[in-house]
Structure 1
Amino acid sequence: MEIFNNHKKLYTVAGLFFLLLTYLTAIQPALQNQKNNAPLPGAEPLSGDALKGKLLYISEGCVACHTQQVRNVDMDKNFGSRPGIPADYATIKRTSLWANTATLMGTERTGPDLTNVGNRNGGKDWNLMHLFNPRSVVKESIMPAYPWLFEIKENPDSTDVVVSMPQEFMYGKTGKVVATKKALQLLAYIQSLKQLPLPEGTAEREFLYKKEPAGKGTGASASKMDGKTLYATNCQSCHQPTGEGLAGAFPPLKNSAVVNNDDQLELYVDIIMNGYDARPEYGAMAAVGTNMEFTEEHVAAIINYERSAWGNEGRPVTPDEIKKIMDFVKTKAAGK
């Protein structure tokens, strides 16, 4: 054949054939995959600070110990409301022109999964304390501390973000812990990690190997819900296993008037669902119940556990009773 005797034609045909195969086997499937797994409705690009925080998250090695993948097994229900899907990662782009996409999904869970940590535990005060000294909020934590993301000042400026750090966790230093710009950028990225709901009508993958309802299920009665597990998953990191909180950071639930008294029940439910930020001596609490989509069964189980633990002697509540208060709280919040 003449083509084999004419190097120009041979190389031209071979080059065109190579480009065609490249398109058919690599480019076209990639474009189709990108179309099939577009970002979920409501997905927003990272803010400038969150994007810089993502680079810090990678450079500080957080990807080595934390995953961002909710597997479809029952034990992962604490980390997200549904198993992860490819669309959850559609907004993750190359780190830079010269660096490939970071493996944010992770490969090991030395620490908990962070897929939904912005909803599960996105409070500013807790996360900054956790970065400065993890043992201040989780006694058994083996996470390394990141004190170089903070400054110690005797007289912080009015614009400084001061971290309410107990003296015993200050590494022997005195003064006030102030978050640097880098710490706030890392915080912005952590707070951005929120699992989005699937579009209406889209079937979710089921969690496999399900156990009896013991925490974050729906349709289970309060008696079947494990309030202790719910507390450990959603409340314990701030209020501590002992219910004593942290002085100057998080209020105690042990012997708390809000926890034990019926005349404070509306406020109690409101705090669980919508958070609280009216105590100058303590950090603001996030809207844990709303973020985690608590039902009246969840709230009743948590209240009943907290009212019976650590020497508390509050009256048990029922889901029906809590539902009426939750409906009232929602109506009141909508009217503001």
Structure 2
Amino acid sequence: MLNFHKDHKNLVLTAGLVFVALSVMVAILPAFQMQETVPLPNEKPLTEAEREGLHIYVKENCMACHTQQVRNIEMDKMWGSRPSIPSDYFYSKKRLDVWRQSPSVLGSERTGPDLTDIGSRQPSEDWHLLHLYNPRAVVSASVMPSYPWLFREVPESMLTKDDREVVAPEAYFNKPGIALVASREALLLVDYLKSLKQTELPTGISKDFIPAKKRKEVSGGTSNSSNARSGPDGANLYKQVCVACHQDNGKGIPGAFPPLDGSKIVNDENHETLIRIIIQGYDANPNFGVMPPFGEQLTDEEIAAIASHERSSWGNNAPPVSEDDVKKIREFINKELNP
């Protein structure tokens, strides 16, 4: 044994065996385990458009700055409702051909946010298109590069019904008589991004986050503090759902997304229009982007909390909205749609 380093045959043989063993453990066994992965019951396969968008996502090397893996730690809770599992990638791992596997979209860097559930966090097509054209137009501190080659400039007189015009602020696109139009590649990429939504786990199966630090349990009964609050936090929900378009100060993005500060709809004593917009979305103002509906994403209690926050912030001064108010309007909308 003392001369093992001088025994070339045994040294090479040992190195070869170690290499084979590691290859089996690191590559071959996990590959066999992956073959047993099945999709979640409610998981939807990618459409052809979404799959083309995935290829554009890879082509533009978006994985260099964005991950698609919600880690099993408490700090990742902001990126998804649960930690990622192998089944989440079942449909995105389709082979390109006999020789090539689809590129991994897991990523290893978070220069930008994780995109696992971006389709739920940001369902607005207008926002995604404007963000691709110039990220600073919607996120002032963004370090993401612009992708102007995914857009083209077309004289307004030559626009067709098939052209997807992008609503952009004058500060970022100000060419009278010229329209900014999204290319097919940009639309496909946005289709893919909007498809990124975490699928709910089957009933009875839970996958909780591991806290980075154990929470300290407070003993001695309930707190009587006047600061104790119940129900969802409207300000926090606003930051999760609305701030990307309407901004933290409620000023919106001029020429792209309307302000809520001083808005007649927000301050109207009759809150029906505001609640309808949150539930059903809004596409009646050609000067601004389309607001997607949030009725399926948010509960009545959460909508009430967001609306109340908007009606009492940035100088707005309107009565709060209750959960019952939202429930009644949602029931009325359902009757309209299903008479």
* Class of the TM-score when normalised by the shorter of the 2 chains: 0.7 to 0.9
What is aligned with 1:203?
206
Indicate the SS of the match to 1:241: coil
Residue in structure 2 matching 1:232, options 233, 239, 243: 239
Q: Cα deviations across residues 51-99 of structure 1 (Å, max 9, x unaligned)?
A: 1211111121110111111223333233222221111112222344443
2:307 matches 1:314: no
1:166-185 correspondence runs (5 A): 166-170=169-173, 175-185=178-188
Please tell me the residue identity of whatever aligns with 1:186.
Answer: L
Matches of 2:324 and 2:210 in 1, distance apart?
28
What is aligned with 1:108?
109
Matches of 2:238 and 2:43 in 1, distance apart?
29
Matches of 1:192 and 1:106 in 2, distance apart?
18
Q: How far 1:135 sits from its partner (Å)?
A: 0.8
Indicate the SS of the match to 1:308: coil
What is aligned with 1:118?
119
2:299 matches 1:267: no
- Size of the alignment, in residue pairs? 302
Please tell me the residue identity of whatever aligns with 2:273.
Answer: L
The runs of 5 or more residues in structure 1 that have no matched partner are 1-21, 213-220
What is aligned with 1:18?
none
Indicate the SS of the match to 1:151: strand
What is aligned with 2:260?
253
Matches of 2:210 and 2:73 in 1, distance apart?
5
What is aligned with 2:221?
none
2:92 matches 1:85: no
TM-score w.r.t. the length of structure 1 is: 0.80
What is aligned with 2:224?
none
Indicate the SS of the match to 1:285: coil
Residue 139 to residue 289, structure 1, CA distance change in 2 (3 Å): farther
1:137-148 correspondence runs (5 A): 137-148=138-149
Matches of 2:184 and 2:320 in 1, distance apart?
45
What is aligned with 1:159?
162
Residue 137 to residue 108, structure 1, CA distance change in 2 (3 Å): same
What is aligned with 1:149?
150
What is aligned with 1:15?
none
The runs of 5 or more residues in structure 2 that have no matched partner are 1-22, 217-227
Matches of 1:139 and 1:41 in 2, distance apart?
40
Q: How far 1:174 sits from its partner (Å)?
A: 6.9
Residue 81 to residue 238, structure 1, CA distance change in 2 (3 Å): same
TM-score w.r.t. the length of structure 2 is: 0.79
Matches of 1:233 and 1:198 in 2, distance apart?
22
Residue 207 to residue 311, structure 1, CA distance change in 2 (3 Å): farther
Matches of 2:314 and 2:56 in 1, distance apart?
40
2:287 matches 1:281: yes
RMSD of aligned residue pairs (Cα, Å): 2.9
Structure with greater helix share of residues? 1
Indicate the SS of the match to 1:70: coil
Indicate the SS of the match to 1:232: helix
Q: How far 1:26 sits from its partner (Å)?
A: 8.3
